[in-house]
Chain A
């Protein structure tokens, strides 16, 4: 299993993501700088980490979504390679139009930084197969722009297609229909505001995030 973490100027969860990937696969991921134009040959899992790429200039994720490496990420996604975007990575995926909707300033205007309960809505995806549908899990969030928005027709469509992976069990940031994580049409791209890589060790206070990596990386315990 060859994994890659895309690193932008201003990424700050890239090393946490790398630790999670290495812990599960036994092999360190390739750290791929945003100015690269190609992913390493044989990359079969891509992670877009959290952080504040390009200082959140223009809009969160907007500049990163137009960086050279994103063309290769989009090509890989189209071939079915799993792509996980966490927090700023989710913002990048929506800005790159790989996922529907947009992430706006939190409704309460506060930066929200705490562990929150999530409800697993779809337990059939490659990222969520280790969870049970309806199960409640605890994963930390840390964001200012996590307020998910899409028009009503888009929300109805993604809900109808089972593409809402996670919902906040309690309102966190004003997200439409409490959506915390969204899958693409083919189910191989997941964007989520909560940080599963921050819940992979008992010392983190919980390991609910580890199960996502175990499912996605095909090494179910």
Chain B
């Protein structure tokens, strides 16, 4: 079973990489971009029937640093 995990910086946490991407987009002539936030996408291939609790624990214990990041789990 493929599970998608999206890790994103919490609102209010400065994202220097997002800012640099934003500037680069503007440099390429793409106006009208108000903001860019960069995150991480992780695809897990787990055993069918892996529980929500286990997936949540994987995120909380390793895949995201909950001091600065939020995560969202997307099951098929």
Contacts and interface: CB of A to CB of B under 8 A. Distances in A.
Interface in B45-63: 61-63
Nearest to B20: A109
Contacts of B14: 104, 107, 147, 149, 174
A102 interface: yes
B65 A102 contact: yes
Contacts of B25: none
Nearest to A154: B67
Contacts of B13: 104, 149
B16 interface: yes
B62 A62 contact: yes
Contacts of A66: 61-62
A59 B14 CA distance: 16
Contact of B16 (A94, A95, A174): A174
B67 A105 contact: no
Most chain A beta-carbon neighbours within 10 Å: one of B13, B14, B61: B14
A105 B16 contact: yes
A10 B13 CA distance: 28
Interface in A57-74: 58-59, 62, 66
Nearest to B61: A66
Contacts of B3: none
A111 B6 CA distance: 27
Interface in B21-76: 61-63, 65, 67-68
A105 B38 CA distance: 12
A149 B17 contact: no
Given A58-B62, A66-B62, A109 B67 contact: no
Contact of A102 (B17, B20, B61, B68): B68
A160 B18 CA distance: 33
B62 A109 contact: no
Contact of A109 (B16, B61, B63, B68): B16
Contacts of A105: 16-17
A101 interface: yes
Contacts of A149: 13-14, 67-68
Interface of A: 58-59, 62, 66, 94-95, 100-102, 104-109, 147, 149-150, 174
28 contacts: A58-B62, A58-B63, A59-B65, A62-B62, A62-B65, A66-B61, A66-B62, A94-B67, A100-B67, A102-B65, A102-B68, A104-B13, A104-B14, A104-B68, A105-B16, A106-B16, A107-B16, A109-B17, A109-B20, A147-B14, A147-B16, A149-B13, A149-B14, A149-B67, A149-B68, A150-B67, A174-B14, A174-B16
